[in-house]
């Protein structure tokens, strides 16, 4: 409601949303564009994918199910776009050099993704890299079988 009613967006600003139980929801969608631009990075959305971790991670931690879904999703997208999850890149629309997997606060004046989850992003980056090279400690996430990457790493 805030995104469409208050902000006037045509859809929710995030490309994906992940519930605490690990369920993945598709957000902003356009059937004719596989990488539709979101509205989640303070007006500098080009070259980004927005994932909303549903919940408030100011004082509570992200559930293992949600974190695992995030790692699987990011590994799928990183393979699809040939993105190194451990690297940094220049992000032209924000004029910043940021981690390829960053938090909302890396581009906006916000506390998101929360003080309990933000310090865990290096671990998420490593999990994504491990999934991509076939040494994942994450394991499978029920319902995400369609995100299996074969052959691993996938390069096309």
- CA nearest to 37, candidates 15, 16, 52: 15
Contact 64, 38 (CB under 8 A): no
Q: How many CB atoms lie within 10 A of CB 66?
A: 23
pTM, two decimals, is 0.76
Q: For residue 150, give every residue at least 6 positions away whose Cβ sits within 8 Å of its Cβ, in sequence order, or none.
A: none
pLDDT 10s digits, 85-132: 999 988 777 788 889 898 877 777 778 888 899 999 999 999 999 999
pLDDT 10s digits, 11-30: 777 788 899 999 998 887 65
């Amino acid at each position: 409601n805030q995104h469409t009613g208050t902000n006037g967006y045509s859809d929710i600003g995030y490309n994906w949303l992940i519930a605490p139980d690990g369920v993945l929801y598709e957000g902003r969608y356009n059937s004719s564009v596989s990488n539709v631009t979101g509205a989640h990075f303070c007006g500098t959305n080009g070259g980004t994918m927005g994932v909303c971790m549903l919940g408030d991670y100011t004082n509570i931690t992200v559930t293992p199910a949600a974190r695992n879904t995030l790692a699987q999703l990011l590994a799928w997208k990183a393979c699809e776009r040939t993105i190194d999850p451990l690297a940094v890149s220049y992000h032209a629309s924000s004029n910043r050099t940021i981690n390829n997997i960053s938090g909302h606060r890396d581009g906006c004046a916000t506390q998101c993704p929360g003080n309990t989850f933000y310090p865990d992003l290096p671990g998420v980056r490593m999990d994504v890299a491990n999934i991509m090279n076939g040494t994942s400690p994450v394991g499978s996430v029920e319902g995400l079988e369609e995100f299996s990457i074969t052959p691993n790493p996938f390069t096309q």
